[in-house]
Structure 1
Amino acid sequence: MSIKRETIADTFALITFGIVVGMSVELFVAGLSIEQSLHSRLLSIPVNLLIARPYGIYRDWIMAQARRVVSGSVVDAVMDIVAFLTFQLPVYAVLVGTSGASVDQVITACMGQLGALILMGRPYGIYMQMCRNWFAERTIQTA
C-alpha cells in the first residue's frame, strides 16, 4: 500500500475509532450530554489528524521488533497494547498539561487513563489493520 493510502487509512481509523469509543465513554460513563460529547469529539479531530500516521508508523515498528524475537496472536495483542499505551499516554499527558492542569493533576489523569488505554490497545490495532486492508483493497479494485 502506498504511503498516501496508509496515511488516509490510519487517519480514518483513529478519527472514527475516537468518535465511537470517545462518545461511548463520554455519554455512558462520564455522563456528558450529546452536545458536550460532540464538541469534545470535534476538538479531538485536529489532534488525531496530527498523530494518526505517526502512531501507525510507531505501531508498525513495535510490531516488527517483537516479531523479530517471537510471533503469534498473543504477542500481537500484547504489542498492540504496549504501542497504544506508550504512544497515547504521553500525548494525553501533553493535552491535559496544556489545558492548565498541575503536574499532580496530569499524573492523576494519566493514571486514570491507564486502564482505558490497555483495554483499547488491541481493539484499535485490529481496527486500524482492518481499515488499512480495506483501503488497500479499494486501491486494487480501482487500479
Structure 2
Amino acid sequence: MKRYLADTLAMIVFSTVCGAFIEIVIAGLSIDQSMRIRIAAIPIILFAGRPYGLYRDWIFKLLGGNGNQVGELKSTVIDTFANFSFQITLYLILLFINGATIEQALKAGGSIVVFLIISGRPYGIFLNGCRKLFGVNSN
C-alpha cells in the first residue's frame, strides 16, 4: 500500500504542476480546459501511478539494476525512456476526451514529447524521493 501511495502521489503532484504549465503556457489551452484535464487525469493516475512505478522498476532491472545501482547517465536514459513510453498515450487520450482540438493536441503532444524527454530523470528522482518519504525503496 505504501508503494501505491508513493507512486501515485508522485505522479499526481508532478503531472499536475508540469501538465498545467504546458497546457496553458505552451499549448494555449484555457485555464478551464487545463483544470478539466488535470481533474480528469486524477482517476487515471490513481490507476496508472503504481503501474508506472512497476514499469519503471522493471525497465531498470531489465537494463541494469535499480535507480540506486546504476550510473547517472544510464539512470537518465532509462528514466527518460520509461517516462516517454508510458506517458504519451495517456496524455493524448486525456486531451481529446476533454475537448482539445487536433491543433491543440498536436501542440501539447509535441510539447509534451520534449517535456517527457527533459523531465524523465527529474521525475525519477522525484519518484524516488516520494518513495523514500513513504519508507519504500525503488526495486
After TM superposition, the score normalised by the length of structure 1 is 0.75
Q: Does 1:52 align with 2:12?
A: no
Q: Distance in 2 between matches of 1:100 and 1:34?
A: 13
Identity among equivalent pairs (%): 40
1:95–1:15: structure 2 CA closer, same or farther, 3 Å change rule?
same
1:97–1:42: structure 2 CA closer, same or farther, 3 Å change rule?
closer
Is the Cα contact below 8 Å between 1:89 and 1:110 reproduced in 2? no
Q: Distance in 2 between matches of 1:135 and 1:48?
A: 18
Q: Distance in 1 between matches of 2:52 and 2:11?
A: 9
Q: Does 1:63 align with 2:60?
A: yes
1:100–1:35: structure 2 CA closer, same or farther, 3 Å change rule?
closer
> What corresponds to 1:73 in structure 2?
72
RMSD: 2.9
Of 24, 27, 32, the match for 2:24: 27
> What corresponds to 2:121 in structure 1?
122
Is the Cα contact below 8 Å between 1:92 and 1:110 reproduced in 2? no
Q: Distance in 1 between matches of 2:36 and 2:99?
A: 19
> What corresponds to 1:6 in structure 2?
3
> What corresponds to 2:12 in structure 1?
15
| Larger RCO, structures 1/2 (Cα 8 Å, 6+ apart) | 2
Q: Distance in 1 between matches of 2:80 and 2:128?
A: 14
1:43–1:111: structure 2 CA closer, same or farther, 3 Å change rule?
closer
> What corresponds to 1:132 in structure 2?
131
> What corresponds to 1:140 in structure 2?
none
Q: What residue identity is the alignment partner of 2:123?
A: Y
1:50–1:133: structure 2 CA closer, same or farther, 3 Å change rule?
same
1:109–1:50: structure 2 CA closer, same or farther, 3 Å change rule?
farther
> What corresponds to 2:90 in structure 1?
91
After TM superposition, the score normalised by the length of structure 2 is 0.77
Which has the larger helix fraction?
1
Is the Cα contact below 8 Å between 1:9 and 1:132 reproduced in 2? yes
Deviation at 1:43, TM superposition (A): 1.0
Unaligned runs of 5+ in 2: none
Deviation at 1:111, TM superposition (A): 6.5
How many residue pairs get matched?
A: 130
